[in-house]
């Protein structure tokens, strides 16, 4: 036996409750602002070459002027339009085929090798071919975005359906659900969380692809703005384009997160929070 007196173990409220509340939203805003401040400082101190890295304040001034002139909104409008049209064109058939492949082992076995072979091709490598087929105009941009989104949604939806606990399909079968009813009441809602994850990735992919496609056959769009600025060495304008693209990506994420929270009310809050940007 030891001579030491017995110790008392205290269990009390977590100190965090009393401490200052740092909201995640505040932290999320802090990192871009710190980045911009650091960047500004480094350029002002001439540690960075302002020909390649103009100060954020200069970029913001240029952005403001382009906004007032209306060109920035016009470029953004075209990019958003192409992304949205291409997204719908690719996401709807991608998700539908993913559902069908998820529920039908036959169709899955038949199509999976072909998809596995095509999927790793970088989608932008198809752009020349698509412009040959669809011309330089709008349709080729919708198609290339659509293809990129299609594969993302197909694979996400398929993974989502395959992940659904078998028991739910047994319930539907035991209650004599038709195939269509099983799709609508089990496969689609069960895969929806993964479908949303696929939509987030797909939108990111759509932005990448559209910016590259806007190098060709158009004089509107944020991608066009970036490429033209490159040709005429207007570095500040290029940064304006980059900033707008980043902002668009962020807004898309916000919109998706909002939609997800509305449609996935059945998920416990802890899981749903992962979707919050």
Partner 1 sequence: MRSEPKIAIQGVSRSFGAVAALARVDIAIAPGEFVCIVGPSGCGKTTLLRILAGLETPSTGQVAITREDSARPLNTMIFQESSIFPWMTVRQNVGYGLRLRGIRAAEIAERIAPLLELTGLARFADAFPYQLSGGMKQRVSVARAFANDPELLLMDEPFAALDEQNKALLQEELLRLWSATRKTVVFITHSIDEALVLGDRVLVMSARPGRIKADIDVPFPRPRSVVELKQDPDYVRLNHDIWLLLRDEVRPAA
CB of 235 to partner 1, least distance (A): 50
CB of 182 to partner 1, least distance (A): 9
Q: Give whichever of 161 and 245 is closer to partner 1, judged by the CB atom.
A: 161
Q: Give whichever of 155 and 186 is closer to partner 1, judged by the CB atom.
A: 186
What's the CA gap between 119 and 62, in Å, rounded?
40
Q: Give whichever of 171 and 242 is closer to partner 1, judged by the CB atom.
A: 171
Q: Kindly report the CA angle at 26 between 83 and 21, in degrees rounded to 5?
A: 145
Q: Kindly report the CA angle at 47 between 44 and 53, in degrees rounded to 5?
A: 70
DSSP state of 5: P
CB of 268 to partner 1, least distance (A): 4
CB of 214 to partner 1, least distance (A): 39
Q: Give whichever of 197 and 211 is closer to partner 1, judged by the CB atom.
A: 197
Q: Give whichever of 189 and 277 is closer to partner 1, judged by the CB atom.
A: 189
The helix (H) or strand (E) run that includes residue 54 is none
Please, which of residues 210-269 interact with partner 1 by CB under 8 A? Answer: 265-268
Q: Give whichever of 134 and 168 is closer to partner 1, judged by the CB atom.
A: 168
Please, which of residues 159-198 interact with partner 1 by CB under 8 A? Answer: 167-168, 170-178, 181, 185-186, 189-190, 192
Instruction: Count residues binding partner 1 (CB under 8 A).
Output: 21
- Distance set, CA 118 to CA 107, 125, 206 (Å): 17, 12, 18
Q: Sign of dihedral through CA atoms 159, 86, 247, 258?
A: negative
Q: Per CB under 8 A, does 100 bind partner 1?
A: no
DSSP state of 164: S
CB of 257 to partner 1, least distance (A): 19
Cα of first residue to Cα of last residue in the chain, in angstroms, is: 56
Q: Sign of dihedral through CA atoms 67, 25, 259, 123?
A: positive
Cα 167 to the center of its chain, rounded Å: 32
Tokens found for residue 24: 């995640």
CB of 254 to partner 1, least distance (A): 24
Q: Are 195 and 95 in contact (CB under 8 A)?
A: yes
Q: Give whichever of 261 and 267 is closer to partner 1, judged by the CB atom.
A: 267
CB of 159 to partner 1, least distance (A): 17
Q: Are 102 and 160 in contact (CB under 8 A)?
A: yes
* Binding residues for partner 1 (CB under 8 A): 167-168, 170-178, 181, 185-186, 189-190, 192, 265-268
């Amino acid at each position: 036996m030891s001579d030491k007196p017995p110790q008392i173990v205290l269990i009390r409220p977590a100190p965090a409750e009393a401490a200052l509340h740092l909201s995640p939203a505040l932290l999320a805003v802090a990192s871009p602002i710190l980045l911009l401040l650091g960047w500004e400082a480094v350029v002002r101190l001439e540690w960075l070459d302002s020909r390649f890295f103009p100060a954020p304040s200069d970029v913001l001034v240029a952005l403001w002027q382009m906004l007032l002139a209306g060109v920035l909104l016009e470029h953004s409008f075209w990019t958003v339009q192409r992304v949205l049209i291409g997204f719908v064109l690719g996401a709807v058939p991608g998700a539908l085929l993913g559902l069908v492949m998820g529920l039908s082992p036959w169709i899955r076995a038949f199509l999976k090798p072909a998809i596995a072979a095509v999927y790793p091709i970088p989608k932008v490598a198809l752009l020349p071919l698509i412009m040959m087929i669809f011309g330089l105009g709008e349709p080729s941009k919708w198609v290339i975005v659509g293809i990129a989104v299609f594969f993302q949604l197909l694979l996400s939806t398929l993974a989502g359906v395959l992940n659904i606990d078998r028991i739910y399909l047994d319930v539907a079968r035991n209650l004599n659900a038709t195939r269509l009813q099983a799709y609508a009441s089990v496969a689609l809602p069960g895969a929806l969380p993964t479908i949303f994850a696929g939509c987030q990735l797909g939108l990111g992919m759509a932005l990448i692809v559209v910016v590259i496609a806007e190098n060709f056959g158009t004089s509107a769009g944020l991608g066009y703005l970036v490429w033209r600025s490159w040709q005429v060495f207007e570095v500040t304008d290029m940064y304006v384009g980059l900033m707008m693209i980043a902002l668009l990506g962020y807004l898309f994420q916000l919109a998706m997160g909002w939609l997800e929270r509305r449609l996935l009310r059945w998920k416990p809050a802890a899981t749903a929070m992962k979707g919050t940007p």
